[in-house]
Structure 1
Amino acid sequence: MEVREAHPDEYEEIGTLTAAAYQGYPEAGEDPDYMAQLRDVAARAAVRPVLVAVDDEGRVMGSVVYVGGPGPFAETQGENEASFRMLAVADWARGRGAGEALTRACIDRARAGGRSALVLLTLPAMTAAHRLYEKLGFRRAPERDWEFEPGRQLLGYEHDLSPRS
């Protein structure tokens, strides 16, 4: 498996797999505007790195948007923090390490960029993702939770990247 930046000829496939991954979650799948945003890989790739995990045959297994600091696609991070969004793995690739590889790539980029933390927001129902984040050193950060509509919220997670004394 290789993690790299997406190529323009992969954008349509990435959009389709991202929308499919989020379709099963009412908080995302019932919002046509958000589903359109998930499919529009070209728009996010124009302003942020879109990373893909590809298998040995070059098939796209999953993708993520790395948000290295303030600006487009930034949600809850502070000035010296990074985040990632729209992590998705194709159905056929689940359980093969693509989600972990993409998350590790974001951790590595944030660390290389001198960021103090890598933060994210996730749907409460994405329990497999929560387990992955915790395995990789993220902690639940309730102070970062975001209620995007009354009664509907995203859960905050944070990975401290500050140098240890």
Structure 2
Amino acid sequence: MKIDDISKKYAVHLGVTGSLRDRLKADAHLHGMMVFELDLSGLSDETALCAYLEAKFRYPYRTVGLDAAIDLISDLEWFGNRKGYLVIVRGATETSPIAGDFISMFPNILDRWRTQDVPFVIVVEEKGERLLAALAGANEFMERAGRLPWAQPGIGPVDVVVHP
């Protein structure tokens, strides 16, 4: 599979492992996309997650909290890349203390990239009920936000694709 083959680019793809993950990564590089590889293994709480994200995405200034992480990962202007981004996530296991919180950020982030028309592809090696529940809750929030009278056109839930 190639980046262009993903019909739902502004989606969270769960269960992407091995050769499929490697082909997506290689194809993203060919398309000029930046690739971020994240490993949540060993992150024990929100503070550790926020510090990790700050280091991996090289925020231009210090931040605190997941709301700041959502804002900055939804922008990434300091990289100056309009060709897109691929985020590969490992370690989002069913027993991870922070995986649900982290995964639930994606619908908001993807919705913002979708409005900018910049490809943003998220692939997660793991899949499971806890991750699906976190995404469902975040998508419900995005759906409610999209119905607000002052909402920007197009705001709403994102697709979740579970790969075999």
TM-score band (shorter)?
0.3 to 0.5
Structure 1 length normalisation: TM-score?
Answer: 0.32
- Between 1 and 2, higher relative CO (CA 8 Å, sep ≥ 6) is seen in 2
TM-score (norm 2): 0.32
Structure number with the higher strand fraction is 1
Higher relative helix content:
2
